[in-house]
Amino acid sequence: MPGFEVFGAEERKQVNDVLESGVLMRYGFDGMRNGHWKAKQFENTFAQRMQSQHCQLVSSGTSALTVALASAGVGAGDEVIMPTFTFVASFESIMILGAVPVLVDIDDTLTLDPKAVEAAITDRTKCIMPVHMCGSMADLKALKQICQKHDLLLLEDACQAIGGTFEGKPLGSYGDLGCFSFDFVKTITCGEGGAIITNSEKYAIQADQYQDHGHDHVGTDRGAETHPHLGYNFRISELNAAVGIAQLDKLDSILATQKRNYTIIRETLEEVKGVTFRRVPDGGEENYSFVNFFLPSEEKAKQAHQALSKSGVEACFYWYTNNWHYINGWEHLKNLKSLGNLSSEIKTQIQDLNQTDFSKSDAWMGRTISSLVKIGWTEAEVKDRAEAMKKAIQSVV
């Protein structure tokens, strides 16, 4: 991770196909395309790779979440349960629809705690949104049982975990809908882009319509298409999709390299007394994009993170004080700082995030350090990094 480390002739070839035709939009201009339909090609290939019946490409992972929620009928006043550790896109994608994010604690998976999820369910709850952060998954079996018990939607945010699996199924395909990001720093990239997968024909049709102004996409005359319902513009371009086609062909080799590099780092850190690792639910396999580990205390984690930085070990993250990925840094959400007037449902229903007790999440995040796993490292470079990490951490524990 990320896929831009392996850009090459394959991406250039796909992009040149688009440039030579001159058609950068995914819809229309059939006669000018020279047979190139990059977004359609990506969707078909990605659906097969993810063992799903349908795929809808969109402009970003954030828009994928919004379109997925909208396709399943989530709207104003509906509550969506999400974790305290994620990216800001999670609550943004919910709130743009007028729906209400309900934040709950994480556990040692660094994802949703099923007990906290069940305790947060109300008569307004419509969806549970686990976020498979840093390459590994939530306890999907427990969450699916909760969804079945309460008749709720299970929407997997797999934006950071493409290639991981649970019970033999690709992450994103276990729930009712799954979402992916192909931004510039993801495991595979389109530059900007995202995708929704589902086995529901209804959700697939509605996602296809919603991401393109409500167009029904019936027939070959775009100007004659009808609009069964309102929609917005979350389309991907042919240029972005073209890059994704080449990257998708490289996914298996990327994952193999990530696993090799991850294994070297993890096995070295296992030698450090006091270092433990995030729990991967039974039946799950990470995509190996991050090595996520715990120090014995918050104080030791801070010291270790500083020692790693001083030792020149780059791309190690202490999420607890990160402004984008943990509740502690989301002042704009806590205080509902918005350029426009938020929906009345959000104003009246959202929990008081300045007063909510997230000490259980703090107990895990305060002790967590994550090391990015790059695919451009040679094996020798990974071994050197692992030893440098080991030495830095041992200096404080």
Give 202-230 as a DSSP string: HHHHHHHHHTBTT----SS-GGG---SS-
Q: What is the pLDDT of residues 17-56, one digit of tens each?
A: 999 999 999 999 999 999 999 999 999 999 999 999 999 9
Helix axes 379-394, 251-269, angle to 10 degrees: 30
CA nearest neighbour of 68 among 89, 48, 51: 89
pLDDT of residue 217: 97
Q: What is the pLDDT of residues 131-160, one digit of tens each?
A: 999 999 999 999 999 999 999 999 999 999
pLDDT of residue 284: 98
List the chain residues with pLDDT less than 70.
none
Residue 332 φ then ψ, to 5°: -65, -35
The 8-class DSSP code of residue 326 comes to B
Q: Is residue 115 a contact partner of residue 371, using CB atoms and an 8 Å limit?
A: no
CA nearest neighbour of 164 among 274, 263, 289: 289
pLDDT of residue 1: 82
User: Coil, strand, or helix at residue 263?
Assistant: helix
DSSP characters over 77-88: T-EEEEESBS-T
Q: Does the model's pTM come out above 0.95? A: yes
- Alpha-carbon gap, residue 101 to 85, rounded angstroms: 13
Mean pLDDT across the chain, nearest whole number? 97
Active-site residues, by number, are: 186
- The domains found in the chain, sorted by start residue, are 3-251 (3.40.640.10), 252-394 (3.90.1150.10)
User: Coil, strand, or helix at residue 243?
Assistant: helix
